[in-house]
Amino acid sequence: MDSVENVARAFYEAQDDACSWDGERPLVKNMFIVFARQAIDYLEKNPRIPMSSEAAIADMSKDSWRSHDAFAPTELVH
């Protein structure tokens, strides 16, 4: 299995209602393979910040963290 299919499978399995990747219809698999290729292409073309680097984290302003927090859920849904 190539890396594109590994990413596609990971995207597919991240769904709440995901079934078996091996048993999924080719049309659905192809849709996730397209998403995977787009994601890989984007990451190859855009610089990444290594989040494990303490220096990279220290350089980030509090405002940049605040923008990420805006998308965090404020309450748990059961």
* SS3 per residue for 10-28: HHHHCCCCCCCCCCCCHHH
- CB count, 10 Å around CB of 30? 11
Sign (positive/negative) of CA torsion 17, 20, 26, 30? positive
Q: Would you say residue 21 lies in a domain? A: yes
CA distance 30 to 47: 27
Q: What is the tally of structural domains in the chain?
A: 1
Percent of the chain with pLDDT over 90: 38
**In whole numbers, what is the pLDDT of the chain averaged over residues?**
74
For residues 73 and 43, give the distance between their C-alpha atoms in angstroms, rounded to a whole number: 26
Task: Tell me the pTM.
Answer: 0.57
Residue 20 domain flag: yes
> Which pair of structure tokens corresponds to residue 70?
């805006």
Average pLDDT over residues 21-31: 93
| pLDDT score, position 38 | 93
For residue 77, tell me if it sits in a domain.
Answer: no
- Output the six-digit token pair for 51: 């989040």
**Is 25 a member of any domain?**
yes
In a domain, 75, yes or no: no
- Residue range of the domain that includes 25: 3-69
Inside any domain, residue 78: no
